[in-house]
């Protein structure tokens, strides 16, 4: 498969993840009468990954996340040459999705941008968690996300179920992490909304690149260790 097609698949997958996940928070969760709430947002993020894993995963591997791409490289699943084109496609996809979402949301009478589903720490954390708590939370959550991905896509895993396991893992992560950072575990997903929210959200964006990538690297290495042990 050509890199252009694989990068295109990553663009589409990350667009859908950002549009569907952040859109559920910006458009649907803003209306309590709809009943989507906290659980609905978490489920929406999981469903975006699950659906696109089956739709375009066979083309690109279904990363949709720079931390996943870098973690899979650390786990020796992909070559280093895939990192830059994948990450660029993912970030562009997330920004495009945020732009479309902003266009839709701003059409509502009395629209207020607010945080626009961005991530943050201290005063920008939904639960007012400090930097250290948010850093550890994002590292641990992304680490385990990579461990799930590595295990679910290993040759010994039950075929056909990887997308389901990964989507449910992302749902679980959101159920845990939304109160702390509004859940990133994905630098691209964080970048798109932050560019529109601006201000302190943009200033704090560094954390949501550093922590997920660190967690992804650890998770990729740990996942690879278990694969090597099981092969003996």
In this predicted model, what pLDDT tens digit does every residue of 168-190 receive, in sequence order?
999 999 999 999 999 999 999 99
Above pLDDT 90, what percent of the chain? Answer: 87
pLDDT at position 115, please?
A: 94
Where in the chain are the domains?
A: 3-230
In this predicted model, what pLDDT tens digit does every residue of 69-104 receive, in sequence order?
999 999 999 999 999 999 999 999 999 999 999 999
In this predicted model, what pLDDT tens digit does every residue of 27-79 receive, in sequence order?
987 677 666 888 999 999 999 999 999 999 999 999 999 999 999 999 999 99
Task: Name which residue leads in pLDDT, 232 or 143.
Answer: 143
- Cα 68-69-73 angle, rounded to 5 deg: 110
Contact 64, 18 (CB under 8 A): no
* Contacts made by residues 194-203, CB under 8 angstroms, sequence distance 24+: 194/118, 194/119, 195/95, 195/98, 196/98, 196/99, 196/102, 196/113, 196/116, 197/113, 197/114, 197/115, 197/116, 197/118, 200/120, 200/123, 200/124, 201/115, 201/116, 201/118, 201/119, 201/120, 201/124
For the full predicted model, state whether its pTM sits above 0.85. yes
Quote the CA–CA distance of 25 and 126 in Å, as a whole number: 13
In this predicted model, what pLDDT tens digit does every residue of 16-28 receive, in sequence order?
999 999 999 999 8
Domain topology for 3-230: Glycerol uptake facilitator protein (1.20.1080)
């Amino acid at each position: 498969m050509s890199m252009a097609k694989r990068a295109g698949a990553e663009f589409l997958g990350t667009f859908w993840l950002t549009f569907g996940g952040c859109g559920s928070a910006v458009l649907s969760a803003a209306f309590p009468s709809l009943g989507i709430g906290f659980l609905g947002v978490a489920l929406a993020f999981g469903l975006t990954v699950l659906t696109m894993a089956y739709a375009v995963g066979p083309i690109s591997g279904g990363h949709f996340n720079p931390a996943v791409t870098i973690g899979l490289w650390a786990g020796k699943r992909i070559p280093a040459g895939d990192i830059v084109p994948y990450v660029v496609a993912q970030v562009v996809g997330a920004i495009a999705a945020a732009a479309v979402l902003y266009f839709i949301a701003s059409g509502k009478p009395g629209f207020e941008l607010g945080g626009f589903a961005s991530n943050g720490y201290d005063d920008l954390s939904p639960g007012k968690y400090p930097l250290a708590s948010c850093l550890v939370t994002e590292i641990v959550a992304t680490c385990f996300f990579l461990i799930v991905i590595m295990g679910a896509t290993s040759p010994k895993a039950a075929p056909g179920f990887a997308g389901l396991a990964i989507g449910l893992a992302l749902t679980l992560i959101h159920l845990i992490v939304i109160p702390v950072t509004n859940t990133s575990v994905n630098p691209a997903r964080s970048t798109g909304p932050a560019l529109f929210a601006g201000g302190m959200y943009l200033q704090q964006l560094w954390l949501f690149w550093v922590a997920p990538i660190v967690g992804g690297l650890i998770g990729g290495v740990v996942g690879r260790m278990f694969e090597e042990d099981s092969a003996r």
